[in-house]
C-alpha cells in the first residue's frame, strides 16, 4: 500500500460507521479517485456483512434460555462455586467439598455477605492444580508492569528479600469484585497458595479484620488509598505479615 492510500483503520472506520461526517466525506472523496482504496473499503463492508451472518453459530435452546433467564431473576441465589468445582474435575472438587464441609464453612458461602463470597470464590478457583495465574512470575519487575494500563490505580510490590520467610510471589491475576477491577497477587507461603487482593479502598471495604471464614483467614491492611486483603489457609500471623509487607511497600 503506497503512502497515498488510506490506512486500513480508516477504511474499517468507514465501514463501521465510526467516522465523523466531515471525515467520512473526505474519505469518500478519496475513494472516488483511488481504485485500490475503493476496493479495500468494499471488502471491509463485505467482510463485515459476511461475519455478521456466519458468527451466529450457537443459538441457545429454549431450555438453556429458560435456565439463563432464571439466573437474572435470582438475587444472590446462584452460587458461583459449582461451575468452578465441575471444571476442577471430580477428584479436586471432592477434595474441596470435603475441606469446606469439614470446616463447616459451606453454609457461610451461600449466606454471608456477597463480598466475602466473591473473594473466597476467586481464591478457591486458584486451588486447582491446573490453575495458573494469568502472569506467572516470581519477579516483581515482571508482575508490576503487567498491570500497567489494566487498572485505574497502581501499586508497588515489595522486594523479594523483604517478604516474610518462605513466602514467594508466584504470579498475578486480574478479576472483578463487586463489579470493580481488582488486582490479585498470588503467593506461596510454605506450601499454601495465598491470594492478596489489591483494590482502591471502597470495593474491599466491609470485612471484619482479621477474620476466619470457612477455615480461610482474611487479613486486611490499608495504605496509600489502597486496600490489601489477604486470603489463605495459613495462620493469621503469617498472612498478616505478608499483607503488611505489601502495604508498607507503597
Partner 1 sequence: MPSAINSAVLPERSAPTQRYSSKIAMMTSSRSIGDRFQDLAVPLLASLYNHACWLVRDTTEAEDLVQETLTKALRAFESFEEGTNFKAWVFRILRNTFLTSRASLASNRTVYLEDHPDSAELTDPGSTPESYAIQLDNLAVLRRALEDLPPHLREVILLSDLEELKYREIAIVLDVPIGTVMSRLARARQALRKLLQSTSGGAA
How long a stretch of residues is the chain? 250
State the minimum distance, in angstroms, from the CB of residue 140 to partner 1.
Answer: 17
Handedness of CA 42, 43, 46, 49 (dihedral sign): negative
Q: Nearer Cβ to partner 1, position 96 or 236?
A: 96
The burial of 64, by beta-carbon neighbours within 10 Å (0-12 exposed, 13-18 middle, 19 or more buried), is given as exposed
Q: Within a 10 A sphere around the Cβ of 113, how many other Cβ atoms?
A: 11
Q: Nearer Cβ to partner 1, position 127 or 188?
A: 127
State the minimum distance, in angstroms, from the CB of residue 103 to partner 1.
Answer: 23
State the minimum distance, in angstroms, from the CB of residue 33 to partner 1.
Answer: 14
Compute CA 131 distance to the chain's CA centroid, rounded to the nearest angstrom. 14
Q: Nearer Cβ to partner 1, position 75 or 165?
A: 75
State the minimum distance, in angstroms, from the CB of residue 117 to partner 1.
Answer: 9
Q: Nearer Cβ to partner 1, position 37 or 163?
A: 37
Q: Report helix angle 8-15 to 35-54, nearest 10.
A: 50
Amino acid at each position: 500500500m503506497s503512502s497515498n492510500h488510506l490506512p486500513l483503520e480508516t477504511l474499517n472506520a468507514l465501514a463501521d460507521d465510526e467516522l465523523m461526517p466531515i471525515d467520512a466525506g473526505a474519505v469518500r472523496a478519496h475513494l472516488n479517485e483511488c481504485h485500490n482504496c475503493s476496493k479495500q473499503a468494499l471488502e471491509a463492508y463485505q467482510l463485515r456483512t459476511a461475519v455478521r451472518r456466519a458468527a451466529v453459530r450457537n443459538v441457545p435452546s429454549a431450555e438453556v434460555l429458560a435456565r439463563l433467564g432464571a439466573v437474572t431473576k435470582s438475587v444472590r441465589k446462584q452460587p458461583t462455586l459449582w461451575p468452578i468445582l465441575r471444571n476442577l474435575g471430580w477428584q479436586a472438587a471432592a477434595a474441596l467439598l470435603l475441606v469446606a464441609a469439614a470446616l463447616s464453612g459451606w453454609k457461610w458461602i451461600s449466606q454471608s455477605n456477597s463480598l466475602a463470597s466473591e473473594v473466597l470464590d476467586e481464591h478457591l478457583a486458584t486451588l486447582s492444580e491446573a490453575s495458573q495465574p494469568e502472569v506467572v512470575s516470581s519477579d516483581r519487575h515482571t508482575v508490576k508492569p503487567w498491570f500497567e494500563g489494566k487498572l485505574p490505580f497502581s501499586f508497588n510490590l515489595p522486594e523479594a528479600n523483604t517478604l516474610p520467610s518462605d513466602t514467594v510471589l508466584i504470579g498475578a491475576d486480574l478479576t472483578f469484585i463487586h463489579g470493580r477491577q481488582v488486582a490479585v497477587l498470588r503467593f506461596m507461603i510454605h506450601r499454601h497458595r495465598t491470594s492478596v487482593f489489591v483494590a482502591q479502598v471502597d470495593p474491599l471495604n466491609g470485612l471484619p479484620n482479621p477474620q476466619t471464614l470457612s477455615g480461610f483467614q482474611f487479613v486486611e491492611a490499608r495504605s496509600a488509598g489502597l486496600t490489601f486483603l489477604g486470603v489463605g489457609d495459613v495462620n493469621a500471623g503469617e498472612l498478616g505479615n505478608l499483607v503488611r509487607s505489601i502495604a508498607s511497600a507503597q
